[in-house]
């Protein structure tokens, strides 16, 4: 009986350690595939990505913008999305007021807004020049 318990414990330990090793090899589900400067990525991670990604429970938000799949879009569609991002940031529509009531720490500072706006302009110019 003691041998059976010892064997069971040993097998469980092996299974648990191998599953932990495999878990470390899986990509981070919060990873944004599109290349962004670190400052931009930090703002997006903090205030945007929670709703605007494939795994979000907010269907409307992920239909409007999905940072996980944005890199797969055509350049024309990316330009449209970048334009929309710039507009909603400039008009203080994102993050929405209702969301900020529960999570005020997600509100964008003026500096963060400028980081996103500058990124949108730079990416848009790069896409337009690439297609000439």
Cα–Cα distance, 43 to 49 (Å, whole number): 9
pTM: 0.72
Cα–Cα distance, 12 to 34 (Å, whole number): 39
Cα–Cα distance, 116 to 44 (Å, whole number): 8
List per-residue pLDDT tens for the chain, 132 residues long.
555 555 455 444 454 544 443 333 333 445 676 789 999 999 999 999 999 999 999 999 989 999 999 999 999 999 999 999 999 999 999 999 999 999 999 999 999 999 999 999 999 999 998 766
Sign of the CA dihedral running 127, 52, 95, 103: negative
């Amino acid at each position: 009986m003691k041998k059976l318990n010892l064997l069971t414990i040993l097998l469980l330990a092996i299974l648990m350690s191998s599953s932990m090793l495999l878990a470390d090899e899986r990509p981070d589900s919060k990873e944004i595939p599109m290349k962004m400067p670190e400052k931009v990525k930090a703002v997006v991670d903090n205030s945007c990505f929670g709703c605007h990604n494939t795994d979000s429970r907010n269907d409307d938000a992920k239909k409007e913008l999905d940072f996980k799949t944005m890199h797969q879009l055509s350049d024309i569609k990316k330009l449209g999305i970048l334009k929309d991002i710039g507009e909603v940031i400039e008009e203080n529509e994102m993050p929405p007021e209702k969301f900020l009531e529960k999570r005020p720490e997600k509100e964008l500072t003026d500096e963060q807004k400028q980081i996103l706006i500058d990124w949108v302009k730079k990416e848009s110019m790069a896409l337009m020049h690439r297609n000439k």
